[in-house]
Structure 1
């Protein structure tokens, strides 16, 4: 990973600065992140942009530096209110998903979008933290002729913050977010969906639980020294999950894609039971032999269930994220390990992006 150059002396830029041209615009984004990360402020950050991102993404260094800056901001503990512009070309949608989904898994980002069209005349960017504000403007189709303006003057930050908050009031949540305190409505959603028609496609980072037989499950729980109460909770959940899958298979197709690990890969990246649906707070790991047994039972499950299909990957694009797609209905993006979090996406354009391409998500 290319490191964001952090000054040894306290970071300073002029009280305000204009940026012109694509290269300077990219620098302005990094300067905003630097100012935000290195300040003492813990205020929430609000960000919006309908500027094109494809040209910036072609730069060999900028995407990595931007991701590193965002990671530093989140590691600092700041909460980000991100207003997405989803009325973008398909290629830009994919670039956006690839960047944002791993960051969503931190639970520190609240995603929004604007229902009303912002038009195709002017383009805007507005990013505000407790330490700086970045404002951008351009004519549609002429991004490189635009201007970005960065300020750390308190009066200007206050002005742009008010503008950002007013914009946030106009925005709608892009996703439903389920954490442990929303387990009841989350489980109700999963149960109700079993009766709904439509093909399912699951992109998994671990083997599916519904193919795990009871004796092997018992061995895994004993191996991990799981107490009796937790063991009963896990068994009850897997029984319920298996019944839900059976109900879906009775009327529709389920395709599940997951990696097949070599012994070397398994030793480097041990696999845990994917228990995020019950927000379980411990990681329960397989041994290599247990993993092979579960894989075998999964392959056998496919043979005896006509509507069940496996797509094997030799390499996993991610290790802690699973994506479940109900065709033309919704997409559910989940973090497997503690603390579990689930993002339910119903917006047609976002859903369509997931349905039509498998993105190479990189672990954040």
Structure 2
């Protein structure tokens, strides 16, 4: 039986579509379609066969289908289903392609980097699609990098992204034996992700004659060096220098931001506002400036301004962690068109520029430092047009950072969340309210009967609960689920602060009674005891009062309002998703 015939039989046995099989395997649907139509076939022993085998075993809906799959694959009694299916698909009668030794005339440095990239991907079973998704590339680009058909310089940020990805895998899964020998590292000594990423980058580039990226280390710590002997001319009161357009020092920058905010909304008319930020290290180390910028954005949105914001995304977790709680709520207003650059910006400076109407502000300072930064504020229409053109030019090389969901987008939100449910990776929910799907059925029906204002609303709540409950329990069969919410005092529970998590369509809010809340908490503890894949954590301190974060590791991050007009965003940049995952995991460990 040929490979495409075996794959079609697997589909029939477990009753899934080719798209569902591709999604579970982390492959492109068009790839699986070509396999099924015999227009293409994978390599024998390749990663695609392994992934399809695991996906088939994971998607089998019950014991009957699982047994039928094992029977078709000729599984031995002590053999795992996925292993049996993989052995069956790789059998000689499948007619799979055989890997041939690669012949290339690429430069030696390129061959060395390609070979090491291939070793990393093979060691972890990483597909081209997975690595491409993380680095925001096309899967075919990764294929060419891996084969050596396309060169990648040792100072290319793409290579840094690759190393960061594998550093995360080393940290979460341990260092594979073959890789440990190459890196001279053991499973237990992989250290922090950033340090391991640097070690991987050094290893992958060590055969290259030149490593320009090392020159960046020459400027590390320059911002903390002694100030030059020559001092700048003293500023006038408030940090404003003679001429009134140049602001210096931290106080001066705060004054410049305030001036820009006042002038941007001077006549109260809605305006188009253009903002660019590059590397947030300086902002994150000056909380007053971060808060001033956030207030600037809020004030502009209250006046009805439309804001186009372009960001150069870095990979410094500490920087992002410092900014999350200040900036994350702004995305949920739906009034910020946030974008991120897709082309590398190798600047060593933290930069900010903004334009609205006939006023503009610009400044830059060495990354990580605030040694006499200077801001340039202008009320010149010509200067504002120049800044606006600069931001618009950057926007041409950018992609949307988030997808925004309103109440009318409820079904689209549910569909998007469902599409990533079958992927590998645990689910972590950082919420202000216990989720409705974690309630036992009898308790949910009792609560819905009490709070629903009409029979139609009761049916809606029950229907949404049953759908979410089925998905929730099914998830526990494949991945881990961790729910984190506040530890409420008895006084807070008695006063009605224990709020119910109701679907957007309900259109109203409600609280638990003390007895209902106690029953739900007891049910959660029982579920955690009975199901190894479920954890419930209660924290005395939570970062947000009106925001929930739901993370599907390696796939998606959703941020949703839990109060007021319904809204949610999904982040589209894989590095930001990874950093938000790390942020949420702090509340799992602490």
- Which stretch shows the higher mean deviation, 251-260 or 80-89? 80-89
- Report deviation, 1:124: 3.7
Q: 2-side partners of 1:256 and 1:141: how far apart?
A: 35
Structure 1 vs Structure 2 CA RMSD: 3.0
The one-character-per-residue Cα deviations of 1:23-61 (angstroms, maximum 9, x if unpaired) are 32232123212323444231132211115443x544474
- Which stretch shows the higher mean deviation, 289-298 or 62-71? 62-71
Task: Find out whether 1:148 has 2:375 as its counterpart.
Answer: yes
Q: 2-side partners of 1:59 and 1:138: how far apart?
A: 13
Report the counterpart of residue 270 of structure 1 in structure 2. 497
Structure with the bigger percentage of helix: 2
- Gapped runs of 5+ residues in structure 1? 1-13
Q: Residue 60 and residue 186 in structure 1: after superposition, are their counterparts in 2 closer, same or farther (change >3 A)?
A: closer
Any conservation in 1 of the 2:549–2:560 contact (CA below 8 Å)? yes
- Report deviation, 1:318: 2.1
- Report deviation, 1:65: 3.9
Task: Find out whether 1:26 has 2:251 as its counterpart.
Answer: no
Under a length normalisation based on structure 1, what TM-score does the superposition of the two structures give?
A: 0.84
Map residues 114-133 of structure 1 onto 2, 5 A cutoff. Answer: 114-120=341-347, 124-130=351-357, 132-133=359-360
Report the counterpart of residue 274 of structure 2 in structure 1. 46
Q: 2-side partners of 1:141 and 1:308: how far apart?
A: 40
Report the counterpart of residue 161 of structure 1 in structure 2. 388
- Report deviation, 1:205: 1.0
Task: Find out whether 1:201 has 2:431 as its counterpart.
Answer: no
Report the counterpart of residue 309 of structure 1 in structure 2. 535
Report the counterpart of residue 4 of structure 1 in structure 2. none
Q: Residue 228 and residue 161 in structure 1: after superposition, are their counterparts in 2 closer, same or farther (change >3 A)?
A: same
Report the counterpart of residue 7 of structure 1 in structure 2. none
Q: 2-side partners of 1:177 and 1:320: how far apart?
A: 17
- Report deviation, 1:188: 1.6
Report the counterpart of residue 561 of structure 2 in structure 1. 335
Q: 1-side partners of 2:364 and 2:545: how far apart?
A: 39
- Correspondence for 1:211 among 438, 463, 467: 438
Q: 2-side partners of 1:26 and 1:148: how far apart?
A: 9
Q: Residue 79 and residue 21 in structure 1: after superposition, are their counterparts in 2 closer, same or farther (change >3 A)?
A: same
Task: Find out whether 1:298 has 2:524 as its counterpart.
Answer: yes
Q: Residue 289 and residue 349 in structure 1: after superposition, are their counterparts in 2 closer, same or farther (change >3 A)?
A: same
The one-character-per-residue Cα deviations of 1:142-186 (angstroms, maximum 9, x if unpaired) are 764654211223333233323333332332101222222323332
Task: Find out whether 1:77 has 2:296 as its counterpart.
Answer: no
Any conservation in 1 of the 2:362–2:377 contact (CA below 8 Å)? yes
Q: Residue 315 and residue 141 in structure 1: after superposition, are their counterparts in 2 closer, same or farther (change >3 A)?
A: closer
- Report deviation, 1:225: 4.4
Report the counterpart of residue 86 of structure 1 in structure 2. 313
Any conservation in 2 of the 1:220–1:285 contact (CA below 8 Å)? no
- Which stretch shows the higher mean deviation, 138-147 or 64-73? 138-147
Q: 2-side partners of 1:275 and 1:292: how far apart?
A: 18
Any conservation in 1 of the 2:284–2:319 contact (CA below 8 Å)? no
Any conservation in 2 of the 1:261–1:315 contact (CA below 8 Å)? no
Q: 2-side partners of 1:310 and 1:104: how far apart?
A: 28
Any conservation in 1 of the 2:485–2:542 contact (CA below 8 Å)? yes
Q: 2-side partners of 1:94 and 1:61: how far apart?
A: 16
Any conservation in 1 of the 2:423–2:555 contact (CA below 8 Å)? no
Report the counterpart of residue 11 of structure 1 in structure 2. none
- Report deviation, 1:236: 0.8
Any conservation in 1 of the 2:548–2:561 contact (CA below 8 Å)? yes
Any conservation in 2 of the 1:50–1:124 contact (CA below 8 Å)? yes
The one-character-per-residue Cα deviations of 1:61-80 (angstroms, maximum 9, x if unpaired) are 44444443433333333332
Report the counterpart of residue 412 of structure 2 in structure 1. 185
- Report deviation, 1:290: 2.2
Q: Residue 324 and residue 51 in structure 1: after superposition, are their counterparts in 2 closer, same or farther (change >3 A)?
A: closer
- Correspondence for 2:455 among 228, 233, 237: 228
Q: Residue 204 and residue 301 in structure 1: after superposition, are their counterparts in 2 closer, same or farther (change >3 A)?
A: same
- Correspondence for 2:515 among 289, 292, 307: 289
Q: 2-side partners of 1:287 and 1:77: how far apart?
A: 40
| DSSP 3-state at the match of 1:357 | helix
Q: 1-side partners of 2:294 and 2:560: how far apart?
A: 20
